[in-house]
């Protein structure tokens, strides 16, 4: 009897120690900034893959580890977030690769609810584009610590001082350069690591598939003869940087008030190892996360986790449904029974996996900060809290109001059940919003999304996973806002071209043909609720 508290204390101590080893982070960027390439190269430097940029499939094809959907491979873009879990230097990394295209911003919002840090990937030539800026503002509103990595420095682009000014003006936070490039964009020779005053001289490898050879030397005045001119420019730039004050402040970074800055080229592996080391050394471990009442939940409290993603049919051979959970407290054990805070029902987490893209391996235990894929049935949705012991709710995950709408109909009446089951599944996953008109009995479903590519994904998945051949037709709505029942009445009574749709959870969406009509309605009806986010009041 007397040994029980000792065991509990030992277990709690182990949970705390394991939480300290976790680094759970995302990479966010606009399309074509090199996000998937950087993801692959981080895996290479961590020893998680033997050849960066591709993995050999069973049929001999090569595709990015993080892009497992056939649509992603065909289009060459990421359309869904992916979890990659690996260990390096005694640290367990949970890397969440996110889609870069703006049409899939909702998936990235869900990922930001599950991470402790984020890397903003910036194209050296294009800088911060609107999509990256929008996601950055969401991350900043949540106080997520941010790192910035300027990519593609092997190509022509903004010179480093220009980039520093651009990032400071755009992100509206001070930046602290941890590394500084030697050589202009397109003639990149290496970086100065300002933390220990060393120069990392990079050499290209064939195809960038292997770790780039690098020579490390004392930074000041020991470059090779061919580096002299570039070296002199870099030293002058660093003197200017030092004059304006750019010292790294760890506490400010952890509060989300300062952004460490690094330069490199993911394609050629320049600076990737330094970035991985910075994430290991500076990114926060799993820390207490607030419940919906604002009270931080200690990591050694009983098990509690947030469902931030649900994905069906990741493995077409099994047709299963996987919930991705971020563990916020306690020790996860395969087979444990937990309660869903939303429904009050219990379920067994019998089939748990460590996830690496589409690949899975059985997982017996996990700790705060870990992301676990659990095969589930029944009513588990994005935003659910799973717990043991006293009831806990974590804050809901916000979603963006749609900006594109289509009607969708089934071409094959014999596949009626498959059609509706598929729509229900995609709605629960958050792939699209399944809507109905609030004021009539029109049976034709309406789909809402941030952009039209979401509908392409929905149509393909309905066909390949549920055997439903569908037809879609665009609707003339280009802006929507969350409203309430009273606001819906005023929207429907408005003389402008407006309408109201309702989600399955009862959320009313007022839709408008363009932003001009939306703004005009808002001016005429200042007391009507018109929110940009669904499920939260955070600004975007």
List pLDDT tens digits, range 54-90: 433 323 334 444 444 454 444 444 445 577 888 999 9
Q: What span, in angstroms and rounded, lies between the C-alpha atoms of 278 and 262?
A: 9
pLDDT digits (tens, 9 = 90+) for 16-31: 999 999 999 999 887 7
pLDDT in the model for residue 70: 52
pLDDT in the model for residue 103: 55
Q: What CATH number belongs to 23-282?
A: 3.40.50.300
Decide if domain 289-387 falls under CATH 3.50.50.60: no
Binding residues for GTP: 29-36, 97-101, 151-154
Q: What span, in angstroms and rounded, lies between the C-alpha atoms of 113 and 382?
A: 11
- CATH 2.40.30.10 boundaries in the chain: 289-387
Structure tokens belonging to residue 82: 């992916």
pLDDT in the model for residue 461: 87
Q: What CATH number belongs to 399-534?
A: 3.30.70.3280
Task: Please identify every stretch of the chain with a pLDDT value under 70, giving residue numbers as ranges.
Answer: 1-8, 49-81, 99-105, 131, 134, 206-209, 219-227, 313-319, 355-360, 438-442, 535-540
- CATH 3.30.70.3280 boundaries in the chain: 399-534
Under DSSP, is residue 486 helix (H, G, I), strand (E, B) or coil? helix
Q: How does strand 371-375 pair with strand 352-356?
A: antiparallel
- CATH 3.40.50.300 boundaries in the chain: 23-282
Beta carbons within 10 angstroms of residue 299's beta carbon: 25
Residue 309, beta-bridge partner list? 324
Binding residues: 29-36, 97-101, 151-154
Give all strands (DSSP E) within 30-132, no chain letters.
Answer: 55-56, 62-63, 82-88, 91-97, 117-123
Cβ–Cβ < 8 Å for 48, 65: no
Nearest-10 Cα torsion for 300, 305, 306, 309: 130
> CB burial class (10 A; 0-12, 13-18, 19+) of residue 287?
middle
φ/ψ of 274, rounded to 5, equals -65, -40
pLDDT in the model for residue 30: 79
Under DSSP, is residue 470 helix (H, G, I), strand (E, B) or coil? strand
Structure tokens belonging to residue 529: 């609720």
φ/ψ of 35, rounded to 5, equals -65, -45
Q: What span, in angstroms and rounded, lies between the C-alpha atoms of 537 and 534?
A: 8
């Amino acid at each position: 009897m007397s040994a029980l508290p000792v065991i509990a204390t030992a277990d709690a101590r182990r949970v705390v120690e394991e939480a300290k080893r976790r680094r759970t982070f995302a990479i966010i960027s606009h399309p074509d900034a090199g996000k998937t390439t950087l993801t692959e190269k981080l895996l290479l430097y961590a020893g998680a893959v033997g050849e960066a940029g591709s993995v050999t499939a069973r049929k001999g094809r090569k595709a990015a580890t993080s892009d497992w959907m056939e649509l992603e491979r065909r289009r060459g873009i990421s359309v869904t977030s992916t979890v990659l879990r690996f260990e390096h230097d005694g640290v367990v990394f949970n890397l969440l690769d996110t889609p870069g295209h703006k049409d899939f911003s909702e998936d990235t919002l869900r990922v930001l609810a599950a991470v402790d840090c984020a890397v903003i990937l910036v194209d050296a030539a294009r800088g911060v584009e609107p999509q990256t800026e929008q996601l950055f503002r969401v991350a900043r509103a949540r106080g997520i610590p941010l790192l910035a990595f300027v990519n593609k420095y092997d190509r022509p682009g903004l010179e480093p001082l220009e980039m520093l000014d651009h990032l400071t003006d755009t992100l509206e936070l001070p930046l602290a350069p941890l590394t500084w490039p030697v050589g202009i964009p397109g003639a990149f020779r290496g970086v100065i690591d300002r933390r220990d005053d060393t120069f990392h001289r990079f050499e290209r490898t064939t195809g960038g598939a292997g770790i780039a050879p690098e020579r490390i030397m004392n930074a000041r005045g020991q470059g090779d003869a061919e580096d002299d001119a570039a070296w002199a420019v870099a030293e002058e730039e660093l003197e200017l940087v030092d004059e304006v004050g750019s010292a790294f402040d760890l506490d400010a970074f952890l509060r989300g008030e300062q952004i460490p800055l690094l330069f490199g080229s993911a394609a050629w592996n320049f600076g990737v190892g330094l970035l991985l080391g910075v994430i290991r050394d500076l990114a926060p471990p799993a820390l207490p996360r607030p419940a919906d009442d604002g009270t931080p939940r200690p990591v050694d409290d009983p098990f509690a986790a947030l469902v931030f993603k649900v994905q069906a049919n990741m493995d077409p051979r099994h047709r299963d449904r996987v919930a991705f959970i971020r563990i916020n407290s306690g020790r996860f054990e395969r087979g444990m029974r937990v309660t869903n805070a939303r429904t009050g029902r219990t379920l067994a987490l019998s089939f748990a996996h460590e996830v690496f893209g589409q690949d899975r391996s059985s997982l017996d235990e996990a700790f705060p900060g870990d992301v676990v894929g659990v095969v589930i049935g029944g009513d588990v949705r994005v935003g659910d809290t799973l717990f043991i012991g006293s009831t806990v709710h974590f804050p809901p995950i916000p979603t963006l109001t749609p900006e594109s709408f289509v009607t969708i109909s089934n071409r094959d009446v014999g596949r009626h059940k498959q059609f509706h089951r598929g729509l229900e599944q995609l709605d629960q996953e958050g792939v699209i919003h399944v809507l109905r008109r609030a004021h009539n009995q029109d049976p034709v479903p309406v789909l809402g999304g941030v952009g039209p590519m979401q509908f392409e994904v929905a149509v393909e998945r309905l066909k390949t996973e549920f055997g439903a051949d569908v037809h879609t037709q665009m609707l003339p709505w280009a802006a929507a806002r969350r409203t309430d029942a009273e606001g819906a009445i005023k929207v429907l009574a408005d003389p402008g071209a407006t309408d109201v749709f309702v989600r399955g959870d009862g959320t009313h969406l007022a839709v408008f043909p363009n932003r001009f009509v939306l703004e005009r309605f808002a001016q005429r009806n200042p007391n009507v609720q018109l929110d940009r986010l669904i499920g939260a009041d955070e600004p975007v």
